[in-house]
Amino acid sequence: MKNHNVREDWYHRFLRWAGGEEPEGAEGPEDPERAEFQEYLEYIEAHGYMEFGAYRLMRFRQRREKGLEDPRGSLHGPPAPEPEPVHPPRHHRPGKLRNQILLYRVLSAVIVITLAAIFLVVTMNLPLFGRADSPAVNEVSQRYLEQGLEETGAVNAVTGMILDYRAFDTFGESAVLFAAAMSTLLLLHSPKSRMRTFRGPDQVLSQVGRRVLPVILLFGVYVVVNGHLSPGGGFSGGAILGGGLILASLVLGEERMARMLPAPRTSKITVTCLLAYGLMKGYSFYTGANHVGWEVPKGIPGAILSGGFILPLNLCVGIIVACTMYTFYSLFLEGEG
């Protein structure tokens, strides 16, 4: 399968793999995969549609039965001369695997029905919906609501909760987003895949998009900056900003956006924001826990510059979310080509 006569060390193989290079096949001047795909297209023209994977499996079995070539290489090798156009056995699987799949289906149906029944019984015995005396309304939420304003300075209790009391939780969330973006980058990014040439969008889409785009971006900035005063905050505003960036990429063209925001730059911005978040929150936890007294002034509740570090923290989170959304979009667009 693999044409490694000389064993490479794992690090270079990993690098080539991370670079998007397929470990086998697709080498040489004529591309055997492309030739096979051409044959597949001709086959479905003649015999009706079937999936490419099933087609390859059928061809592989035919070749192995004929013993025309080494079956190990034939899955990716050049196509065999002329197979008899036999329809594949549709539901044939090796017996052991078929039994396992049947067992799996029955077991999962049983598990799902049992779980749903248990959940429904539990639901009927839960505290009634909307009651103020349910055990979920306890001293924790009471403290957040009654003393959150003077302890955090944020009018929006949810923002005060997630960016002050539970700020390290939010830091972990931002780190999860960054980790997901980086793993997607590792899985999908290949340096040799060229940017697709931009086909101009529909005239109506382009004109409307250009006019709506500044409003969307401005609204995103508003939601981020007002996170401690009104519903919203870094996550929701960042999602709006990310949507605006995706719209910009659709309307202005991917090449222009790739010049403005290439993947290394978005990664650098995200890392900078994560570091800034960690520094700010580490500072306030350190000074607060040790009673040093250099606390950031809270300001007047309701003013835009209030709530201590909450406004810059919201900005950091918003930028991280927007960059991550845009990175996902551009990577999946690249993987499409």
Partner 1 sequence: MLETILQQRYYITAVLLFSIGFVTLFLHPNLIKKIIGLNLMDTAVFLFLASMGYIEGGAAPIVEEGAKASQYINPVPGGLVLTGIVVAVSTTALFLALTIRLYRQYHSVNLDVILMLAWEGKAED
CA distances (Å), 291 to each of 165, 177, 207, 229, 287, in order?
17, 33, 57, 28, 6
Question: Token pair of 318, please?
Answer: 């918003």
Closest distance between partner 1 and the C-beta of residue 28, in Å?
19
Within 8 A by CB and 6+ apart from 269, the residues are 319, 323
Question: Which amino acid is residue 49, in one-letter code?
Answer: Y
Question: Would you say 202 and 209 are in contact if contact means Cβ atoms under 8 Å apart?
Answer: no
Mapped onto helix, strand or coil, the DSSP state of residue 80 is: coil
CB 166 within 8 A of CB 310: no
**What is the smallest separation between the CB atom of 109 and partner 1, expressed in angstroms?**
7
Instruction: Choose, by CB under 8 A, the member of 44, 62, 78, 149 that binds partner 1.
Output: 149
Q: How far is the CB of 299 from partner 1 (least distance, A)?
A: 14
Query: Contact, 237 vs 227, CB < 8 A?
Result: yes
d(CA 109, CA 94): 23
Binding to partner 1 (CB under 8 A): which residues in 177-206?
A: 177, 179-181, 183-184, 187-188
Q: Least CB distance from residue 151 to partner 1, whole Å?
A: 12
Q: Which residues, other chains included, contact 249 with Cβ-Cβ below 8 Å and sequence gap of 6+?
A: 257, 326, 329, 330, 333
Size of the site for partner 1 (CB under 8 A): 74
Q: What's the Rg (C-alpha) of the chain?
A: 28
Q: Please identify, among the stretches 78-86, 160-168, 276-284, 290-298, the one whose residues bind partner 1 according to the rule CB under 8 A.
A: 160-168
- How far apart CA 284 and CA 168 sit, in angstroms, is 12
173 close to 316: Cβ distance less than 8 angstroms = no
Applying CB under 8 A, the span of 3-11, 138-146, 248-256, 272-280 interacting with partner 1 comes to 138-146
CA–CA gap between residue 74 and residue 61 (Å, rounded): 10
The Cα–Cα gap between 9 and 15 comes to 10
Contacts (CB under 8 A) with partner 1, residues 34-73: 51-54, 56-57, 60-61, 71-72
Q: How far is the CB of 251 from partner 1 (least distance, A)?
A: 23
Tell me if 317 sits within 8 A of 225, measured CB to CB: no
Q: Which is nearer to partner 1, 36 or 253 (CB)?
A: 36
Does 129 contact partner 1 by CB under 8 A?
Answer: yes
HSE of 179 in the Cβ direction (CA atoms, 13 Å)? Answer: 6
The C-alpha atoms of residue 250 and residue 194 are separated, in whole angstroms, by 17
- Among the listed ranges 129-137, 215-223, 243-251, 276-284, the one in contact with partner 1 (CB under 8 A) is 129-137
Binding test (CB under 8 A) with partner 1, winner from 148, 307, 308, 318:
148
Minimum distance from residue 127 beta carbon to partner 1 (Å): 9
Stretch that binds partner 1, among 157-165, 202-210, 272-280, 287-295 (CB under 8 A): 157-165
Name the residue nearer to partner 1 (CB basis): 187 or 279: 187
Q: In the window 225-284, what residues touch partner 1 (CB under 8 A)?
A: 229-231, 235
- Least distance to partner 1, CB of residue 22, Å: 7
Binders of partner 1 among residues 67 to 126 (CB under 8 A) are 71-72, 75, 93-94, 97, 101, 105, 108-109, 111-112, 115-116, 119-120, 123-124, 126
Q: How far is the CB of 258 from partner 1 (least distance, A)?
A: 19
Q: How far is the CB of 103 from partner 1 (least distance, A)?
A: 13
**Pattern 9-38, partner 1, x by CB under 8 A:** -------------x----------------
Please name the residue that has the structure tokens 């924001």.
Answer: 273
